[in-house]
Amino acid sequence: MSTSTNQPERTPPERHIFNQVAPMDRSVRETAMNQRGCVLWLTGLSGSGKSTISRALEMSLVADGHVAFVLDGDEIRSGLNKDLGFSPQDRQENIRRISEIAKLFADCGVICITAFISPLKAHRKMARELIGNDRFFEVFLDADVSVCERRDPKGLYRKARAGKIPEFTGLTSGYEPPENPDICIDTASSTIEQSVWHLAHYIASKGFITLRVSDPEP
């Protein structure tokens, strides 16, 4: 006796996705906002200053009349990506999702600032390729692990040393520093104000914003 159920053939989900209406051209929105969208991808060890500098830069840009937004690792992990763990596959998916979001912000003409350790070169390369080389800027916050451990703003190094965090970047898990970052800031010797100044003037020099307040370097 035949066991066939004559079920209809299933088609891949992507075959049912259609972009029926063309999106607004990016240049139209950027002209109206008087700025061009880009992504400043801050990478470095925990404690290198990613969250602090990204928030300070966001405040500085907004105060100067620009539209900027920070995507922070802890916030993303506690919201959008709370279903992801820290396996190699989940770490890659974490970066992929972040990259997609950052790309959407850049498409909207926003200066998107991301603050993620993103320890692997391959993951940062994936982000650059997804977002676009012409508007992706890798920012390496270069601080030695000893400096970061002395700061330890979240107490993570202390927990890692006590064995409470088995895979901790910089101690028990490797970090691959960028070989040719677009911007490199030594946060052991640079103040927050100096770091913000360098980042703002860098994207201004690339034509993404026009600084209204052109202060000398702090």
The residues that are catalytic are: 118
* Half-sphere exposure (Cβ direction) of 104: Cα atoms closer than 13 Å: 6
In one letter, which amino acid is 185?
A: I
Cα–Cα distance measured from residue 157 to residue 217, given in angstroms and rounded to the nearest whole number? 33
Cα–Cα distance measured from residue 209 to residue 87, given in angstroms and rounded to the nearest whole number? 38
Q: Are 38 and 133 in contact (CB under 8 A)?
A: no
Cα–Cα distance measured from residue 5 to residue 25, given in angstroms and rounded to the nearest whole number? 48
- End-to-end CA separation in angstroms for the chain: 85
| CB contact set of 109 (below 8 Å; sequence gap of 6+) | 26, 29, 30, 32, 33, 35, 36, 37, 67
Helices 192-205 + 50-63 axis angle, to 10: 60
